Amino acid sequence: MMIFVLLESLDYFKNYLDSEPGDIAVYKSIIMFPWALKVIFGLISDNVKIFGLKRKPYLVVFGFLQFIAASSLWFFEPDNAITVVFLLMLTSFAIVFQNVVIEAIVVSQSRLDPILGS
């Protein structure tokens, strides 16, 4: 899903905000920066509990963050490139954290298999 968001945002920067290619490359790297921190997010989600729960609160909180950040792009239609980059980076951050939590759930559930789990 993130690739579609990235492709659409590049079109938005080019056609509607008249950004230069160098600026677009910087914007793209800022938007994708949370993916570089994926290991840190995994450590946080595995070791820091919220209300005594390990993974559910992260899915709820970051799902809500993703909804707010992505829907604010649609509702407010910002014409400033920095605002768009910030909101897309927040969306990317939420997607990465949810991805980490979902992968951790899959790993823990796969270990419950008596034959293939180890």
What interhelical angle do 81-110 and 38-47 show, nearest 10?
A: 60
Residue 117 phi, psi dihedral angles, 5° rounding: -75, 150
Domain ranges of the chain: 2-110
Q: What pLDDT is attached to residue 12? A: 82
> What's the pTM?
0.85
CA–CA separation, 95 and 99 (whole Å): 6
Tens digit of each residue's pLDDT (9 = 90 or more) over 38-85: 999 999 988 889 888 888 999 999 999 999 998 998 898 888 889 999
